[in-house]
Chain A
Amino acid sequence: MRQPQFIRSNTFHWALAVAAVFAVFVIVLFGFIYWQTDDYLVARSDKMIARQLDFIAALPEERRIDAIEEHLREDSRGVQYAGLFDADGRKLAGNLDRFPPELKMNDAVQSVPIVRTIPSGQERRAIRAIARRMPNGNALVIGREVDEAREISHVVGQALALGLLPAFVLCLLAGAWMSMRAQKRVEEVNQRVQRIIAGDLRERLPHRNVDEPFSRLAVIVNGMLDEMETMIHALEGVGNDIAHDLRTPLTRARLALERGRTNATSLEQLQVVADKAIANIDQSLSIITALLRLAEIENSRRSAGFGSVALQELLREVCDIYEPIAENKNIALRVEASHRLSVRGDRDLLFETVANLVDNAIKFTPEGGKVSIELLRKDKDIVVRVTDTGCGISEQEREAVLRRFYRSDKIRNTPGVGLGLNLVAAIVRLHGFRLVIHAGPGGRVDIICPTDSTPER
C-alpha cells in the first residue's frame, strides 16, 4: 500500500524527527523535575523531624512523655511517628511498638522500615526517622512518613507526562500540515512551470506579499522569467532583422540571375549577371559570418587564455595599418600613447576592437578631418580613446549599440557589414571593461579598463 504523499515528504520526516527529539527532551526534563521535587520535600521533612527531636530532647525528663503525646495528638493526618524507650528497649510513650532495629542511634535522619499496628492488623511502612540516646539512658525516636512527599512528586510528574502526549501529537499534526502545504505549493508551481515549458512565456509563479522564503524564491524566479521573456522577444526582433538583411541581397541575386537567364544573349552579359549574384551572395555570407562571430564572442568563456597585452604597442600597430587608409581620405590619424600600460586580455580580440573603432572613425569622418587614438590614465583606470571629427553617434544609437545584437540603421546602410560596434561591445564585455560612447559633436569612444584586474608591468 502506498503511503499518503505527505507522509513520504521530507518536511514530514523532519517534523517527526523534531517531535521525537522534543519528546526525549521533555521526558528527561520531567525526570529531573520529579527528582528535584522529591529531594526537596524529603529534605524539608527531615529538617522538621530533626527540629522536633531537638525540641523534645531539650525538655526536662518528666515532660518528655507529655510532649510526645501532644506532638502525636496534633498530627491529624497520621504521618508523624514518635517513641520513647527505656534502656532495655521497653516502650514508655509514643505510637511505635518497639525501637526500629535498623535505626542507628545518634545519627542523621535516615530511612527505616517500621511495623505499625492498625485496626486491621499490622502494616510495614518506610519512614524517615532519627533516634537519640537521652542522658538518662532512654532512647527518643522521631519519624515522619515521606510517602506523602512522594505522592506530591508523583502528581507533578504525572501532570507533566500527560502534557507530553498532546505536545507530541501537535508536533506531528503541524509537520503533516506543513508538509501538505509545501506539497500543494510545489504542485502549484509545477503546473505553472509546465505551462511555461509548453510555451506560455507570460506565466509567472504564484507568490504572496509576505516575507516568506517560498514567496521570495518565487519573486526571484519571476524576475528571471521577466528577463528571459524580454530577451526572447528581443531575439525575435533580431531574427526578423537578420532575415531582412539576409533576404535583401539574396533577392537581388535571385532577380539578377532570373533576368540574366532570360535576357542575356552573350557570355559577357551572363558574366556581369553572375558577378552581381556572387557579390550579393557574398554579402549575405558576410552577415552570417559576422553574426556567428558575435555569438562566439558573447558565449565565449575563454578568459583563461588571457595574457598581458601591451596597449601602447597595440595602438601603434593599429595606427600603422590604418594610416594609408586615412591618408587616402586626407584624414590626419595620430596616436598619443606616452605611457607604457598593459591590461589582461586576448590580444587578437583587443586588436580587433581598436581596429574596428578606428575603421568606423575613419569611415564616418569627412575628408580633411582628424582621428586620434589615445592611451590615458584616469585615476585607477586605463582608457583607450578614439576620437574623430565626424558626425558622432546619436543618443538613441549609443544606447542601442550597447545592447546585445542590435544593429544601428545608419551603420547598416554603410558599406561593409555593420556589426562592428556590436562586436566591440561584446569583446569589451568579455574582458570586463566598459565601453563609453560620448555625445557628439564628433565621435568619441572610450574603452575603460579598471586596473584592479590589470597588473602593471
Chain B
Amino acid sequence: MAKVLLIEDDRETAEEITAELTDRGFEVEWAADGIEGLGKARSTRPDAMIVDRLLPGMDGLTVIEALRKDQMRTPVLVLSALGAVDDRVRGLRMGGDDYLTKPFAIVELVARIEALLRRPAESRETTLRVGSLELDLIERTAKRGDRTIDLLPREFRLLEYMMQRSDQLLTRAMLLEEVWNYKFVPATNLVDVHMGRLRHKVDGPDEVPMIHNVRGAGFILRTGS
C-alpha cells in the first residue's frame, strides 16, 4: 500500500482528498502546515507527496527544497491556486515533479499521483510490449499480434506514451502536456479526436478493445484478457 503525505492547510479540501485517496487504497498522512509537513516527511518517509504551494509557517516550495537538500527523492505533486505559467515553471524548477492548479477534478489528482508512483523506469528496451501490442522504437513500427498497424508519427508518439503507462488512467490534461507539449487548454477536444483515430487503428473490429475511454476522466490502455 503506497503511503502519501498530504500537506494542505484547508481542512475541507484535505478531508476530501484524504477520503478519495483512501478509497483508492492509499495510506494518507495529513499535515496542516509546512513545518509539520516537513517533520512528517522526514519521519514517515512517504512514497509520494502532495504539497500545497501556499502554506502557513513555511511555503510549500521551501518544504520541497529542504527535502531535496536532504537527498529525499520522493515524487512531489505541487498544488496551487496560482495558475500562471511562470508559477508552474518555478514550482517544477524548485523540485516539484508535477503541478496541478486549483481547482482540479479529483480524478485528475489521483491519476497524477498514480503516474508519479509508477513513473516508468529508464529503460534500454527498444521494443515496448503490452498484451498483444508491440512497438519497435528503432524501426518505428507497430504490430498487434500479426497485424501491422500503420501509424503516423504523431500517433506513434501517443501510443508510445500510453504503452509506457499501460493500465494507468491518463487524463486529457496529462496527454496534452506530455505528448503534445501543450501549455494551455485548447478550445477543441483535441485529445478525443486524436485518441479516436488511434483507437480505430489499434482496436480492429473483431479484436478485444485495448484503449478505453473513462467517462469524464481520460483514457486507459489495458493489457486486455
* Chain A interfacial positions (CB closer than 8 Å to B): 275, 278, 285-286, 289, 292-293, 296, 302, 320-322, 324-325, 328, 348, 352, 355-356, 359-360, 362-363, 415-417, 420
Contacts and interface: CB of A to CB of B under 8 A. Distances in A.
A100 B188 CA distance: 123
Interface stretch (B82-90, B91-99, B160-168): B82-90
- Sorted nearest first, the 5 A-B pairs with minimum C-beta distance are A416-B187, A348-B183, A296-B84, A324-B193, A325-B193
16 contacts: A278-B216, A286-B185, A289-B83, A292-B84, A293-B184, A296-B84, A296-B86, A321-B194, A324-B196, A324-B197, A325-B190, A325-B193, A352-B183, A356-B187, A417-B187, A420-B187
B101 to A, nearest CB: 8
A293 B188 contact: no
B80 to A, nearest CB: 12
B154 interface: yes
A289 B186 contact: no
B26 interface: no
Interface of B: 83-86, 101, 103, 153-154, 180, 183-188, 190, 193-194, 196-197, 216
Contacts of B185: 286, 289
A359 B86 contact: no
B188 A362 contact: yes
A275 B190 contact: no
Contacts of B196: 324
Given A321-B154, A352-B183, A416 B188 contact: yes
Contacts of A356: 186-187
A101 B84 CA distance: 106
Given A289-B83, A320-B154, A325-B193, A363 B188 contact: yes
Nearest to B82: A292
Contact of A355 (B83, B103, B153, B186): B186
B86 A328 contact: no
Contacts of B183: 348, 352
Contacts of B101: 289
B38 to A, nearest CB: 30
Nearest to B102: A285
Nearest to A299: B84
Most chain B CB atoms below 10 A, which of A321, A325, A359: A321
Contacts of A285: 103
B84 A359 contact: no
B83 A292 contact: yes
Contacts of B103: 285
Given A321-B154, A324-B193, A359 B216 contact: no
B193 A328 contact: yes
Nearest to B179: A321
B97 to A, nearest CB: 20
B23 to A, nearest CB: 17
Contact of B186 (A275, A293, A359, A415): A359
Contacts of B153: 320
A321 B187 contact: no
Contacts of B84: 292-293, 296
B86 A293 contact: no
Contacts of B194: 321, 324
A321 B83 contact: no
A321 B85 contact: no
Contacts of A328: 193
Nearest to A416: B187
Contact of B188 (A275, A278, A325): A325
Contacts of B197: 324
Nearest to B176: A321
A324 to B, nearest CB: 5
Given A293-B83, A302-B86, A324-B197, A363 B187 contact: yes
Contacts of A292: 83-84
A322 B154 CA distance: 11
Given A352-B183, A416-B188, A420-B187, 5 more contacts: A322-B190, A325-B190, A363-B188, A415-B187, A417-B187
Contacts of A293: 83-84, 184
Contacts of A352: 183-184
A417 to B, nearest CB: 7
Contacts of A363: 187-188
A352 B154 CA distance: 18
B90 to A, nearest CB: 13
A290 to B, nearest CB: 8
A45 B159 CA distance: 119
A416 to B, nearest CB: 3
A289 B85 CA distance: 11
Of A355, A360, A362, A417, most buried by chain B (CB within 10 Å of CB) is: A355
A202 to B, nearest CB: 35
Contact of A321 (B86, B184, B190, B216): B190
Nearest to B180: A321
A197 B216 CA distance: 50
A217 to B, nearest CB: 37
A178 B5 CA distance: 72
Contacts of B154: 320-321
